[in-house]
Amino acid sequence: MIILSSAWRAWVLAVALAVAVALPAEARVFRVADTQSADYPTVQAIVLMGRLIEERTHGRHSLRVFHSRQLGEEKETIEQTRVGAIDLNRTNIAPLGSFVPIANVLALPFLFRSVDHLHAVLDGPIGDDILASFKDYGFIGLTFYDSGARSIYTRRRAVHALADLKGLRIRVQQSELMVAMIRALGAVPVALPYGQVETALNTGLVDGAENNWPSYVTTNHFKVAPYYTLTEHTMSPEVLVMSRHAWDSLSNEDKTIFRDAARESNRFMREQWSALEEQSRRKAEAAGTTIVSDFPRQSFQQAMAPVYEKVLNSPALGRLVDRIREVR
Ligand code: GTR
C-alpha cells in the first residue's frame, strides 16, 4: 500500500480539484420544439435565446430549434419533454394545463382585464410561482411569451350572439379546459392538433376554430373561415419549459445563463408581438375577413361559470384566481 504524507495528499487533492474545475461540463446541443413556423415570434425568440446561450457558455451549449411541428404536435411534444426525450418546448399554456393543472388558471376565460393586467401578473411573483410549480410535474418553467387574445372564427356565417354558436363544431386545442369552454358556449368542441385544423376547416369537419390574429393568418385559416368575432375569450399565454432531465444536467452557472437568456428572449418577443398582431389583422381585413366586434360580451362571460367550477377544484386554485384579480 502506498502511504502518502499529508503534504502529498494535499497536493494530489489540489491537482484533482484544478483538473475538475478546468474541465468543462459536458457540452450539449439542446433540442427545442415549437409548433409555429420559422418566422413566428416565439421561434425567433428561442433562436435569440440560443445565440445568447452559445455566447455565454463560449460555445459549450447551444439550442437546435425544431419549429413547424417537426418533433410532433403540441400534446406529444409535451409528453416527450416530460420524459426527457425533448429538452425544451414552447407551447401554449392551455395544452400544458392537461399535464400541470395550475397552468389552466392562466387560460381561464375572461380572467384578465387587459394585456397590461396579464403582463403585471406574469412578470410578478404570481408568474414566478406558477413557473416554479411546474417542477413537480417534470418541467422547469423558464418564461412566458405573448399570445394576445383568442377569438372565435367561422366558415359560413358570422357569430353575433351565443345563439349563433349553437351546435357549431368548433376546433379547440387538446385541452380539457378549452373543450369545456366551447361546450359552455353551446357549441360542439372538436379537439384537434394545430397541424390538422386547416384541413378540418377546408373539408368542413369543423365549422370554425379560435385563435389569435397571428395564428389565424399564418396558418391560412383566414382564407377558409372569414368571419372573426372578437370574443377575446382567453389570453392564455405561451410558455417555454425545459425538461427536468435536461435541467438537472446543467451546472448552477449554466442554469443562470439559461434563465437569463429565456427572460431576455421574452423581452425581444414582446417587442415584435403587438406589431405582428396589428399586421395580421390588417392582412385578414384586406383579404375580406368580416370582423364582428359588437356582440353581447356579458352573456359569453356568464356562460363560463361551469368552466371556472371545473378548473378551480381546490381552494388553492381559487385563491390563486383571487390573487390574479387583485393585481392592478
Ligand atoms: C397558437 C399557439 C400554439 C398552439 C395553437 C393551437 O396560438 O401559439 O402553440 O397552441 O395556438 O391553437 O393549437
* 23: pLDDT strictly greater than 80: no
Phi, psi of 76 (to 5 degrees): -65, -40
Q: What is the pLDDT of residue 309?
A: 95
pLDDT-derived band at 24, boundaries 50, 70, 90: low
Residue 278: all three cell numbers together:
396589428
Residue 188: all three cell numbers together:
360542439
Q: Residue 6 gets which letter from DSSP? A: H
Higher pLDDT among residues 10 and 271, named by residue: 271
Q: What is the pLDDT of residue 318?
A: 96
Looking at the chain, the whole-number percentage of residues with pLDDT higher than 70 is: 92
- Average pLDDT of 93-98? 97
pLDDT-derived band at 7, boundaries 50, 70, 90: low
* 21: pLDDT strictly greater than 90: no
What is the Å distance from ligand 1's center to 9 Cα? 59
* 15: pLDDT strictly greater than 90: no
Residues 37-78 pLDDT 10s: 999 999 999 999 999 999 999 999 999 999 999 999 999 999
Ligand 1 binding pocket (C-beta < 6 A) is 35-36, 74, 91-92, 147, 173, 194, 211-212, 215, 238
Q: What is the pLDDT of residue 25?
A: 60
Beta bridge partners of 64: 31
* 8: pLDDT strictly greater than 90: no
Give the global pTM. Answer: 0.92
- Average pLDDT of 259-268? 98
What is the Å distance from ligand 1's center to 57 Cα? 31
* 81: pLDDT strictly greater than 50: yes
What is the Å distance from ligand 1's center to 192 Cα? 11
Does residue 68 come out as left (phi exceeding 0), alpha (psi in the -120 to 50 range) or beta?
left
Work out which ligand 1 atom sits closest to the CA atom of 210. Answer: 12
Name the burial class of residue 243, with classes exposed (0-12), middle (13-18) and buried (19+) by CB atoms within 10 angstroms of its CB. buried
Residues 188-210 pLDDT 10s: 999 999 999 999 999 999 999 99
- Pocket probe for ligand 1: among 170, 215, 233, the residue whose CB has the most ligand atoms within 8 Å is 215
* 9: pLDDT strictly greater than 90: no
User: What average pLDDT is seen over the chain?
Assistant: 93
What is the Å distance from ligand 1's center to 92 Cα? 6
Q: What is the pLDDT of residue 17?
A: 39
CA-nearest residue, atom 5 of ligand 1: 194
DSSP string, 39-96: TSHHHHHHHHHHHHHHHHTTTSEEEEEE-TTTT--HHHHHHHHHHTSSSEEEEEHHHH
- Average pLDDT of 86-112? 98
Q: What is the pLDDT of residue 295?
A: 86
Q: What is the pLDDT of residue 26?
A: 81
Residues 125-178 pLDDT 10s: 999 999 999 999 999 999 999 999 999 999 999 999 999 999 999 999 999 999
pLDDT-derived band at 221, boundaries 50, 70, 90: very high
Residues 272-313 pLDDT 10s: 999 999 999 999 999 999 999 998 999 999 999 999 999 999
Closest CA to 131 of 30, 312, 262: 262
Higher pLDDT among residues 3 and 155, named by residue: 155
- Pocket probe for ligand 1: among 69, 74, 144, 145, the residue whose CB has the most ligand atoms within 8 Å is 74
What is the Å distance from ligand 1's center to 194 Cα? 6
* 20: pLDDT strictly greater than 50: no
Q: What is the pLDDT of residue 229?
A: 98
